[in-house]
Structure 1
Amino acid sequence: MMNRIWPFLLVLSFSQPLSAQEKPDGEVSAETILALKGLQLLDQRMNAIGFRLISANAAYCDQKAATTGLLLNDVAQYADQETARFALGFDGAIGITAVAPDSPAAAAELSPGNSLLAINNKAIEDIAVDLSQSSSEEPAYRRINTINRVFRQMLAAGDVQLTISEGGVRRTVPIKPVETCTGQFQIRVSADRSATADGRLVSVSSQLAEYFLSDDEFAAVVAHELAHNLLKHRDRLDAQQVNRGFFGQLGKSAGRIRETEIEADRLSVWLMANAGYDPQAAIAFWTRYGKEHGKGIFSASTHYRWKKRVQLFEEEIAKMDAMEPVDGKYAPPLLTGSD
């Protein structure tokens, strides 16, 4: 498991945007607007990669969800809401920031910049924040997280009607979800190069996202973190009472964490191949990063060094090469229980 500051343009992100900044006096600079626009593009890449991975591998997941490929944003996340609306292109409180290609949201002709007014005729302003589920969340994110939870609940029951505003024109759009693996994805503002999985959410730092040379490399890291979630590694480690703190780097805890890292590496290239990404990109990424940074993103005993990781990828790719795909897909042994 690898644990949003960009050199110039991409200094803020959807997960930790302008809400973390003090509102400046006077007019907001052009650099801030460009940063938000660049950040939106990064969110769109992450959303597209995540949707592609969970939809392509749905047949092999034991836990599924109704998904649209839509990513929502809340102006309450930003200190300067007027600038955020201008930069991101919507005029309401809740807007669409990303639409995954070939998703139900794309089929419904939804677009970034649309404002979301209602879900199944329930006005956005009438969706009350549920503090029983949101009390531990940052206040600026409670409304959007509540709306997302309500949206997922409605999708689980079937088709959904979204009322949106596009350029001031109000329209109602039917959207039919598809069944995918469970999975949520976000870009996180951070100066470090890191990625995490918490059992449901995959998070990639902005600094790491900047390092990728292609979407295939981006997908390699997202697939690794998604693999942790699909294999329920957090639950397993919790059941084993594994210490994830300092002492998790030692003894049995370190060995058990390393086992999950090995499994995530092995599964990741299968997830990539099924989604049409080149699994060789995992080798290219870790080789380049390993050579540039010595021990790799982590130097702890819980992770293999980069050369061993590359060897794992090569072994799994060889297994796929020896198989005959079914409908262009390879059944991942770690998800199907096959040898």
Structure 2
Amino acid sequence: MLRRAPSLLVALLLAATSAPVMAGAATSYRDWAAIEARVATIGFRLTTANAAWCPAHQPQFGWIWSDPRLYDADRRPEALAAYGASDRDAPFIAAIAPASPAAAAGMRVGAAVVGIQGAPVPEGDGDHPFARITAIETSLAALPPGARLALDGGEGRAIDIAPVPGCVSDFRVEPSAKPGAVADGRMVLVNYGLAQFATHDDELAAAIAHELAHNILRHRDRLDAVGVDRGLARQFGRNARLFRQTEVEADRLSVWLLAGAGYDPAAAARFWTRFGQRKGRPLLQAGTHPRWRDRVASLEAEATAIAAARAAGQPLHPPLIDAPPPLE
């Protein structure tokens, strides 16, 4: 059992509930670790390759963290074995992107970390299982983007890492079989069901790029600034219209993020076509999101614009980056 963090759009890791890791999608902790590796690789590639387009940066290391506290005691040995983690108390590295600073520093999946910058690993606030990971991620994101990082791996193992600047976002995999994801302004949470639904990494990158686009465009802050209702009223009237505007913006930018990171821009339209036609989708279209055929048309239009720019030998530059339209 992996203890699941609640949605960051409701509250940032204030509590945790138990949820089955393997329900309906993953079949073992090794499968779970493989999904984290995919997400770490895609997240690192999207944030660093597109750093020049992002108004704010943080250090990117190319990893995803985990913690023995996330696993129920009776399954903890099995879970740690899947990562090759031998320390049953310390947080550890769950995934490493190829060619990332973490990989260049010789980090390995399962490596324990007991200290950061000469101090013990922060415990975080509260007693929920994600407290340490949240504290670690938050403290690292606040460092200067180019600052070197010293880690203590215990037993005299010192690791020095030189991060690279990237767009502001960390990534985490959620234990939910639902094919979904969410962004809160700094974090992107990807359900393992979404990774299972995506037939190719370019499609998974399209879904992750959509959430990253929400963070880059500061949609949470912008929606809060205009006083949207995040309760039941979000489905109606002005609230729904403003949420729908942010979804359209995230769709449009996501195609450019794919292109900037070397993924196929056409993968976005392919993914959202399949997503819109999937079995078990809601019978009624949520007012907060555009109809899937409309969003696919928008995605195809952006891919066409990218192809035209490339054919003309023009540099790529997303139209929303410099001046996103006001929410009104």
Question: If the length of structure 1 is used for normalisation, what is the TM-score?
Answer: 0.81
Distance 2:110 2:313 in 1: 36
Alignment of 1:305 onto 2:291: yes
Deviations 1:93-147 (A, max 9, x none): 12111111121111112110222232233243xx3x34xxx34xx6111122223
Letter in 1 for 2:291: R
- Tell whether the 8 Å contact from 2:146 to 2:164 is kept in structure 1 after alignment: no
Alignment of 1:110 onto 2:107: yes
Change in Cα spacing, 1:338 to 1:113, as seen in structure 2 (3 Å) is closer
Distance 1:108 1:336 in 2: 35
Aligned to 2:79: 84
Of 161, 166, 191, 1:180 maps to 166
Distance 2:70 2:323 in 1: 42
Of 29, 43, 46, 2:39 maps to 46
- Tell whether the 8 Å contact from 1:99 to 1:111 is kept in structure 2 after alignment: yes
Alignment of 1:69 onto 2:62: yes
Give the Å deviation of 1:79.
Answer: 1.5
Distance 1:73 1:223 in 2: 23
Distance 1:208 1:52 in 2: 18
Of 205, 211, 215, 2:201 maps to 215
Distance 1:229 1:285 in 2: 20
Aligned to 2:320: 334
Larger displacement relative to structure 2 (81-90 or 58-67): 81-90
Change in Cα spacing, 1:187 to 1:21, as seen in structure 2 (3 Å) is closer
Aligned to 1:5: none
- Tell whether the 8 Å contact from 1:12 to 1:36 is kept in structure 2 after alignment: no
Alignment of 1:230 onto 2:216: yes
Aligned to 2:91: 94
Secondary structure in 2 matching 1:72 = strand
The gaps in structure 1 that reach 5 residues or longer are 1-10, 23-32
Distance 1:262 1:158 in 2: 35
- Tell whether the 8 Å contact from 2:2 to 2:19 is kept in structure 1 after alignment: no
Distance 2:281 2:83 in 1: 39
Alignment of 1:191 onto 2:188: no
Secondary structure in 1 matching 2:287 = coil
Deviations 1:288-320 (A, max 9, x none): 232334977982122111111111011111111
Give the Å deviation of 1:41.
Answer: 0.8
Alignment of 1:158 onto 2:147: yes
Alignment of 1:140 onto 2:133: no
Q: How many residues align?
A: 307
Letter in 1 for 2:78: T
Secondary structure in 1 matching 2:136 = helix
Greater helix content: 1
- Tell whether the 8 Å contact from 1:15 to 1:188 is kept in structure 2 after alignment: yes
- Tell whether the 8 Å contact from 1:249 to 1:300 is kept in structure 2 after alignment: yes
The gaps in structure 2 that reach 5 residues or longer are 7-15, 21-25
Question: If the length of structure 2 is used for normalisation, what is the TM-score?
Answer: 0.84
- Tell whether the 8 Å contact from 1:12 to 1:39 is kept in structure 2 after alignment: no
Secondary structure in 1 matching 2:28 = helix
Distance 1:219 1:235 in 2: 24
